Chains A and B, each alone.
Chain A
Amino acid sequence: MTTASQTTETVNAGRRTTAPTGLALYWYRFQQSLSTPKPYLTVLGIGLWLFTYWLLCEGLRVDRFDKIPGPVAVAKDWFSPTPFQGVSIFTENYYNHIYVSCRRILIAFALATGIGVPLGLFMGWSQRVREYAFPILETLRPIPILAWVPLAILMFPGFEAPVIFLATLASLFVTTLNTMLGVQSIDESYFRAAGCLGSSNWDIFKNVVVPGALPFVFTGLQISIGVAWFSLVAAEMVSGDHGLGYLIVDSYMNNVTVPMVIGMITLGFVGWITSVLVRIVGNWLMQWHVKALALQGR
């Protein structure tokens, strides 16, 4: 009875009058998107890319590409309970590699964010802190992460610490710098308005500096998590046991090329997911920003 009356209410002459909620909203959005070219283009794009890959490696067997495992060979092993080259979604070591890398990223990213955001906020806000820290930061920043590898191995014991150190360092620079720029981008009039209303310095920091810098902070964090993956894999390749970077280089050394490709594709997906997670947290924290962008149709 109630459902019947609700249906007539919501679907009024073929037009919705109330907003769907929860999963229904996603379903609605998905259905809507089917009438636009977007999903078809995405599918087509992926298809084209896979086809080219297949053509080069397996179809035409172009010189030198024939040494690379093609999509069919990779898929066969990846989804096989008894993989020929030892790594598939059914083997424990596959998940172990993913777990180890993710754990390292989580620690490194948390450290970099925990140090970088406050440091950047204070550097942006206080001229004095900026004068202390900025020259050092600017000197260390251009040094490529790979150049830090020997030092990291000398400084830290074991496999874990140097790898985490390198990933942390790389994303720390990005986070700090973006946060600082975020604070500097805040319009002077907000500081003045807050001053008029009777804010103490601490009030201004809490209510103006931190929220005002957030859009830049999260842009920075998205870049920084990418950079963290980048340097993590580089570090795992040089010094490490386990982890996706290690899997890739170890497979190469042992001349098993399929796990190498599986490792790469997995890295792509895992990296993508972490970056989406950062974006979700950012949007959740910055409703005002999301709504303002939505008004501009973005």
Chain B
Amino acid sequence: MQKATTEMKTASTGPAPAASEIDPHSIGKGHLELRNISKSYGEEWDLQQVIESMSLDIEPGKLTVIVGPSGCGKSTLVNLIAGFEKPDSGEILLDGKPVTGPAKDRMVVFQETALIPWQTTYENVVFGPKLRGDLKGKALEEEAKRLLVKVGLGEFMHKYPLQLSGGMQRRAELARAIINGPRIMIMDEPFRGLDAMSRGLMQEFFLRLFEENRRTNLFVTSEIDEAIFLADRLVVLSNRPASVRKVIDIKLPRPRHYTMLSSAQAYEYKRDAMAILHEEAMKSFRPSTANANFAKSYTTSGGH
């Protein structure tokens, strides 16, 4: 069923992806399970609990979006899943195997940009496969060029990242991640810092990529509109220490179009998520009458 939609989609959007695009090892896999994970920082006598017994199932082939109030521990969660840090307790499994450190099956697209500035766009894209040696010579060159053209950077492949605009940098970063055929893509507020226009365009571009190959995706953001526009499943986190407050299945049809955001259904989702987010965000403020009044008026106005 899912395969059929993928094919239909590619047929309608022009050139069919090359066979290598859909890595048979990555599609249909990428089942990520978080089991009761906790993480804290700080001195022994002054522990800051950032994540507390969080369990979450990230289903393969779906775009799961995590939203939470700012500073709630979303980036820590990303660091744990990517393997940059280890949880204090609990375990993280990818397709049943425990995560032990960073690896190419979990590619991270970072906040702002993490393109290596002393490598050209092209060098950045081929960096991973070249290091591991799993794609070489002509094949690597062709694949990298194909991906760069696909993300609209064919003309810019020999420019350095700092010579590109913000949106171009994000697209280059997507290409750099995709070429490694990850089982799951982890996007840590990837469009933060872009202006509203580029952000909207990047969201649509990203959606087209996702809808084409349905790679398991974990997308972290603090923007509720972005979250609803992209998500199959929306995970709303609590304030610090982070745990899952609610999982909302977003049933907007795919392919998505930005006009769907103004539909009644999207509005329902937004109000639902907003109510929780708002309640959680307010925990960061000192309890005072002013805050309480603001909170009340904010929620009754439907989160606008």
What is A's interface to B at a CB cutoff of 8 Å? 187, 189-190, 192-200, 203, 207-208, 211-212, 214, 286-289, 291-292, 295
Which residue in chain A gives the minimum CB-CB distance to B188?
Answer: A189
Q: Is the CB of A196 within 8 A of B127?
A: no
Contact pick for A198, options B103, B114, B120, CB 8 Å: B103
Q: Is B131 an interface residue (CB 8 A)?
A: yes
Which residue in chain A gives the minimum CB-CB distance to B127?
Answer: A197
Q: Is the CB of B118 within 8 A of A212?
A: yes
Contacts of A286 in B (CB 8 A): 118
Given A190-B116, A288-B160, A207 and B104 contact (CB-CB distance below 8 Å): no
Contacts of B90 in A (CB 8 A): none
Contact pick for A196, options B104, B111, B120, B160, CB 8 Å: B104
Contacts of A199 in B (CB 8 A): 131
Q: Is the CB of B118 within 8 A of A192?
A: no
Q: Is the CB of B82 within 8 A of A292?
A: no
Which residue in chain B gives the minimum CB-CB distance to A208?
Answer: B116
Known: A203-B131, A207-B131, A287-B160. 8 other contacts (CB 8 A): A189-B112, A192-B114, A193-B108, A193-B110, A195-B84, A196-B103, A286-B118, A291-B163
Contact pick for B163, options A194, A196, A198, A292, CB 8 Å: A292
Interface centre among B101, B111, B128 (most CB of A within 10 A): B128
Given A189-B114, A198-B128, A199-B131, A295 and B104 contact (CB-CB distance below 8 Å): no
- B261 CB to closest chain A CB (Å) equals 30
Q: Is the CB of A291 within 8 A of B116?
A: no
Contact pick for A291, options B102, B111, B127, B160, CB 8 Å: B160
- A209 CB to closest chain B CB (Å) equals 11
Q: Is the CB of A195 within 8 A of B114?
A: no
Contacts of B82 in A (CB 8 A): 192, 196
- B104 CB to closest chain A CB (Å) equals 5
Contacts of B84 in A (CB 8 A): 192, 195
Q: Is B107 an interface residue (CB 8 A)?
A: yes
Interface centre among A187, A197, A208 (most CB of B within 10 A): A197
Q: Is B117 an interface residue (CB 8 A)?
A: yes
Q: Is the CB of B160 within 8 A of A197?
A: no
What is B's interface to A at a CB cutoff of 8 Å? 82, 84, 101-104, 106-108, 110-112, 114-120, 127-128, 131-132, 160, 162-163, 176, 180
Contacts of A192 in B (CB 8 A): 82, 84, 102, 108, 110, 114
Q: Is the CB of B104 within 8 A of A189?
A: no
Contacts of B176 in A (CB 8 A): 197
User: 10 interchain pairs (CB within 8 A)?
Assistant: A189-B110, A193-B108, A196-B104, A196-B107, A197-B127, A198-B104, A207-B116, A208-B116, A211-B118, A291-B163
Contacts of A193 in B (CB 8 A): 108, 110, 114-116
A198 to B104, CA, bound (A): 6
- A197 CB to closest chain B CB (Å) equals 3
Which residue in chain B gives the minimum CB-CB distance to A196?
Answer: B102
A176 to B236, CA, bound (A): 49
Q: Is the CB of B127 within 8 A of A190?
A: no
- A141 CB to closest chain B CB (Å) equals 29
A212 to B116, CA, bound (A): 9
- A283 CB to closest chain B CB (Å) equals 13
Q: Is the CB of B104 within 8 A of A197?
A: yes
A195 to B110, CA, bound (A): 13
Q: Is the CB of A194 within 8 A of B116?
A: yes
Given A195-B102, A197-B128, A295 and B116 contact (CB-CB distance below 8 Å): no
Which residue in chain B gives the minimum CB-CB distance to A294?
Answer: B163
Interface centre among B107, B118, B120, B127 (most CB of A within 10 A): B118
- A44 CB to closest chain B CB (Å) equals 37
A207 to B131, CA, bound (A): 10
A156 to B115, CA, bound (A): 49
Contacts of B104 in A (CB 8 A): 196-198
Contacts of A198 in B (CB 8 A): 103-104, 128, 131-132, 180
Interface centre among B102, B132, B176 (most CB of A within 10 A): B102
A187 to B112, CA, bound (A): 12
Q: Is the CB of B106 within 8 A of A196?
A: yes
Which residue in chain A gives the minimum CB-CB distance to B107?
Answer: A196
Q: Is the CB of B110 within 8 A of A292?
A: no
Q: Is the CB of A288 within 8 A of B128?
A: no
A187 to B115, CA, bound (A): 11
A190 to B131, CA, bound (A): 15
Contacts of A195 in B (CB 8 A): 84, 101-102
- A7 CB to closest chain B CB (Å) equals 30
Which residue in chain B gives the minimum CB-CB distance to A200?
Answer: B131
Given A193-B110, A196-B106, A288 and B117 contact (CB-CB distance below 8 Å): yes
A267 to B137, CA, bound (A): 52
Q: Is the CB of B114 within 8 A of A292?
A: no
Q: Is the CB of A288 within 8 A of B118?
A: yes
Contacts of A196 in B (CB 8 A): 82, 102-104, 106-108, 128
